């Protein structure tokens, strides 16, 4: 029987720890990262919403979308990137408000997950019913629906309550997701930078 070798963590040079600390605690670094994700998300949103119509009107100028890939595939990427953008800005708000000190180059335990709804609630950020539903669905895309065909647990595919009543799959898109995401992002950006 082979003997198990215990893995040891590498010693991290102080300059790396200092860079980590600066980046993790700078509201501007969080704002920049979330803004990049926001721009990429909105590019996917607009592409998914308008590319099919544009391709019909001007086929020689339209983007080439790989065969078999449709608008819903682009919406999935939008939801993933939008979820990452909201998560990044929420974590930036947490770092700013809690004045977190980084120790040993490790993130606080409260930020070592993708529970953006819980994080915003812990910060006292109020969300409308529609925003709560959006954040919950964005979280689904960050955890699995924007990256994998299925979640780790089949129970994560169970239907969720919709704000207007009824049920829907947790990985669904809504007609106004792009506009709702933009409005929520802008509101959170003020909390981070204001």
Which pLDDT value is given to residue 72?
Answer: 66
Among the ranges 10-24, 109-123, 158-172, 178-192, which has the highest mean pLDDT value? 178-192
pLDDT tens across 72-125, in order? 678 889 999 999 999 999 999 999 998 888 877 888 888 888 999 999 999 999
Position 175 scores a pLDDT of 82
Long-range contacts: 95-104, Cβ < 8 Å, 24+?
A: 95/24, 95/25, 95/27, 95/30, 96/27, 96/30, 96/192, 97/123, 100/24, 100/25, 101/25, 102/20, 102/21, 102/24, 102/25, 104/17
Q: How many domains does the chain have?
A: 1
Q: Is 9 helix (H, G, I), strand (E, B) or coil?
A: coil
**Alpha carbon distance 122, 98 (integer Å):** 11
Residues 91 and 152: beta-carbon distance below 8 Å? no
61 in a domain, yes or no?
Answer: yes
Q: Compute how many other C-beta atoms are within 10 angstroms of the C-beta atom of residue 57.
A: 8
pLDDT band at residue 62 using 50, 70 and 90 as cut-offs: low
The reported pLDDT for the residue numbered 67 is: 47
pLDDT of residue 5: 75
Contact present, 18 and 107 (Cβ < 8 Å)? no
* In-domain check, residue 12: no
pLDDT top residue among 64 and 20: 20
| 16 occurs within a structural domain | no
Residue 9 lies in a domain: no
Mean pLDDT across 138-167: 81
**Is 111 among the domain residues?**
yes
How many Å apart are CA 128 and CA 122, to the nearest integer?
15
15 within some domain: no
Q: Say whether pTM exceeds 0.85.
A: no
> With 70 as the cut, is the pLDDT of residue 46 above it?
yes
* Averaged pLDDT for residues 35-49: 91
Per-residue pLDDT at 187: 97
Say what the pLDDT of residue 151 is. 86
Phi, psi torsion values for 61, nearest 5 degrees: -105, -5
Q: Which parts of 58-176 fold into alpha helices (H)?
A: 71-98, 116-122, 129-140
Is residue 13 domain-resident? Answer: no
Say whether 150 sits in a helix, a strand or coil.
coil
The CA distance from 100 to 30, in Å, is 14
**Side-chain-side CA neighbours of residue 172 (13 Å):** 14
pLDDT, residue 191, reads: 96
Sign, CA dihedral 103-109-113-116, equals: negative
Residue 53 in this model has a pLDDT that exceeds 80? no
Q: Is residue 11 part of a domain?
A: no
Query: What average pLDDT does the structure give for the chain?
Result: 85
Instruction: Domain of residue 111: give its range.
Output: 23-193
């Amino acid at each position: 029987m082979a003997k198990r070798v215990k893995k040891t963590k590498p010693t991290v040079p102080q300059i790396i720890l200092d860079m980590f600390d600066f980046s993790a605690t700078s509201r501007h670094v969080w704002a920049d990262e979330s803004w990049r994700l926001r721009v990429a998300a909105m590019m996917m949103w607009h592409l998914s919403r308008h590319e099919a119509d544009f391709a019909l009107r001007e086929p020689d100028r339209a983007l080439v979308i790989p065969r078999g890939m449709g608008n819903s595939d682009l919406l999935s990427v939008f939801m993933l990137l939008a979820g990452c953008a909201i998560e990044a800005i929420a974590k930036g708000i947490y770092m700013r408000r809690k004045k977190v000190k980084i120790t040993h180059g490790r993130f606080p335990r409260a930020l070592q997950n993708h529970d953006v709804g819980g994080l915003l609630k812990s910060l006292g950020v109020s969300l409308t019913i529609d925003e709560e539903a959006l954040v919950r669905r964005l979280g689904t895309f960050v955890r699995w629906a924007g990256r994998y065909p299925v979640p780790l647990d089949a129970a994560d595919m169970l239907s969720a309550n919709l704000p207007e009543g009824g049920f829907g799959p947790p990985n669904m898109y809504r007609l106004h997701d792009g506009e709702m995401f933009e409005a929520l992002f802008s509101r959170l950006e003020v909390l981070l930078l204001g």
